[in-house]
Protein backbone atom coordinates (compact mmCIF):
# COMPACT_ATOMS: atom_id res chain seq x y z
CA UNK A 1 0.00 0.00 0.00
CA UNK A 2 1.22 3.46 -0.78
CA UNK A 3 2.13 5.34 2.35
CA UNK A 4 2.13 8.76 0.69
CA UNK A 5 -1.63 8.65 0.13
CA UNK A 6 -2.16 7.82 3.80
CA UNK A 7 0.10 10.69 4.86
CA UNK A 8 -1.76 13.04 2.51
CA UNK A 9 -5.13 12.00 3.95
CA UNK A 10 -3.80 12.39 7.47
CA UNK A 11 -2.40 15.84 6.70
CA UNK A 12 -5.64 17.04 5.14
CA UNK A 13 -7.54 15.67 8.14
CA UNK A 14 -5.34 17.48 10.65
CA UNK A 15 -5.46 20.71 8.68
CA UNK A 16 -9.22 20.52 8.23
CA UNK A 17 -9.83 19.82 11.89
CA UNK A 18 -7.57 22.71 12.96
CA UNK A 19 -9.28 25.16 10.60
CA UNK A 20 -12.70 23.93 11.68
CA UNK A 21 -11.81 24.28 15.36
CA UNK A 22 -10.49 27.81 14.87
CA UNK A 23 -13.55 28.87 12.90
CA UNK A 24 -15.92 27.35 15.47
CA UNK A 25 -14.14 29.25 18.25
CA UNK A 26 -14.48 32.46 16.22
CA UNK A 27 -18.23 31.91 15.90
CA UNK A 28 -18.16 31.12 12.18
CA UNK A 29 -19.88 27.73 12.23
CA UNK A 30 -20.98 27.96 8.59
CA UNK A 31 -17.42 28.43 7.37
CA UNK A 32 -16.25 25.65 9.68
CA UNK A 33 -18.73 23.28 8.09
CA UNK A 34 -17.73 24.43 4.62
CA UNK A 35 -14.05 23.84 5.37
CA UNK A 36 -14.84 20.34 6.64
CA UNK A 37 -16.78 19.54 3.47
CA UNK A 38 -13.92 20.91 1.34
CA UNK A 39 -11.43 18.69 3.20
CA UNK A 40 -13.66 15.69 2.66
CA UNK A 41 -13.91 16.46 -1.06
CA UNK A 42 -10.12 16.70 -1.35
CA UNK A 43 -9.67 13.33 0.34
CA UNK A 44 -12.37 11.70 -1.78
CA UNK A 45 -10.76 12.96 -4.98
CA UNK A 46 -7.39 11.57 -3.87
CA UNK A 47 -8.93 8.21 -3.07
CA UNK A 48 -10.88 8.24 -6.33
CA UNK A 49 -7.65 8.66 -8.28
CA UNK A 50 -6.09 5.71 -6.45
CA UNK A 51 -9.15 3.50 -7.02
CA UNK A 52 -9.07 4.43 -10.71
CA UNK A 53 -5.44 3.28 -10.93
CA UNK A 54 -6.36 0.03 -9.19
CA UNK A 55 -9.20 -0.71 -11.60
CA UNK A 56 -6.95 0.05 -14.57
CA UNK A 57 -4.37 -2.42 -13.26
CA UNK A 58 -7.04 -5.09 -12.68
CA UNK A 59 -8.29 -4.64 -16.25
CA UNK A 60 -4.75 -4.95 -17.57
CA UNK A 61 -3.94 -8.04 -15.49
CA UNK A 62 -7.10 -9.91 -16.43
CA UNK A 63 -7.09 -8.51 -19.99
CA UNK A 64 -10.61 -7.14 -19.76
CA UNK A 65 -11.80 -4.82 -22.56
Name the pTM for this structure. Answer: 0.76
Is the pLDDT at 27 greater than 70, yes or no? yes
Q: Express each pLDDT in 2-18 by its tens digit.
A: 788 899 999 999 999 99
Euclidean distance between CA atoms 23 and 9, whole angstroms: 21
CA proximity to 20, closest of 30, 32, 29:
32
Range of the domain at 15: 3-61
User: How many structural domains are present in the chain?
Assistant: 1
Amino acid sequence: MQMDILYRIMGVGFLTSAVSWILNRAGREELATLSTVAGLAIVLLSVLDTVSELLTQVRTIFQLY
